[in-house]
Structure 1
Amino acid sequence: MSHPPKPPPEETPSPEAATASAPVEDAEQLTADQARDYLLSVLDYGQEEIDAKAGIIEELVDLVLPEMKVVAQPIRPPEEDPKEAEALEQRFNGVAVRERDAAWIKQPGLRLDSTTRPLVPRWSAPDKVGGVLRRELFLLTDGRLVTVETVTPWETDGGRHAARDILVGAREVTPAEVLRTFDFVATLKSLLRGLFDGAAVLMERNERPADLVERSGRFFTIIAQVAVGMKESADRLRRAGDSPA
Structure 2
Amino acid sequence: MAVDATAANVRTMSEDLKRPEQPAQPVASLPGPGDQDQFTPQLAREFFLSVLDYGQEEHEAKAGIFQELTDLLLPEARAIAQPIRTKSSENEPSPEVLEQQFGVTVRERSVDWLGEPAVRLAGTSRRLEPRISSPNESGGELRRELFLLTDGRLVTVETVATWQLKGSQRVGGDTLVGGRSVDHVEALRSYDFVSILKVMLETLFDGAELLKNRNEQSPDIVERSGRFFTIIAQVAVAMKENADQLRKVGDTLA
Name the TM tier (shorter chain): 0.7 to 0.9
Q: Using the alignment, how far apart are the partners of 1:177 and 1:239 within structure 2? A: 31
Helix, strand or coil at the partner of 1:26: coil
Tell whether the 8 Å contact from 1:78 to 1:106 is kept in structure 2 after alignment: no
- Residue 219 and residue 157 in structure 1: after superposition, are their counterparts in 2 closer, same or farther (change >3 A)? same
Q: Which runs of 5+ in 1 are unaligned?
A: 1-23
Aligned length: 221
What is the aligned-residue RMSD (CA, Å)? 2.1
- Percent identity over paired residues: 57
Normalising to structure 1: TM-score of the pair?
0.84
What's 1:84 paired with?
A: 94
What's 2:56 paired with?
A: 47
Helix, strand or coil at the partner of 1:88: helix
Tell whether the 8 Å contact from 2:143 to 2:158 is kept in structure 1 after alignment: yes
What is the CA distance between 1:86 and its match in structure 2?
Answer: 2.9
Show the 5 A alignment for 1:1-245. Answer: 25-27=33-35, 30-79=39-88, 84-93=94-103, 95-156=104-165, 161-244=170-253
Q: Using the alignment, how far apart are the partners of 1:119 and 1:37 within structure 2? A: 41
Helix, strand or coil at the partner of 1:103: coil
Larger Rg: 1
- Residue 192 and residue 162 in structure 1: after superposition, are their counterparts in 2 closer, same or farther (change >3 A)? farther
Tell whether the 8 Å contact from 2:93 to 2:173 is kept in structure 1 after alignment: no
- Residue 126 and residue 98 in structure 1: after superposition, are their counterparts in 2 closer, same or farther (change >3 A)? same
Tell whether the 8 Å contact from 2:93 to 2:175 is kept in structure 1 after alignment: no
Normalising to structure 2: TM-score of the pair?
0.81
- Residue 46 and residue 118 in structure 1: after superposition, are their counterparts in 2 closer, same or farther (change >3 A)? same
Q: Which runs of 5+ in 2 are unaligned?
A: 1-31
Tell whether the 8 Å contact from 1:152 to 1:162 is kept in structure 2 after alignment: no
Helix, strand or coil at the partner of 1:130: strand
Tell whether the 8 Å contact from 1:129 to 1:156 is kept in structure 2 after alignment: yes
Q: Using the alignment, how far apart are the partners of 2:83 and 2:192 within structure 1? A: 23
Deviations 1:21-71, CA, capped at 9 Å, x for gaps:
xxx832366222211211111111010011011111111110000111010
Tell whether the 8 Å contact from 2:88 to 2:174 is kept in structure 1 after alignment: no
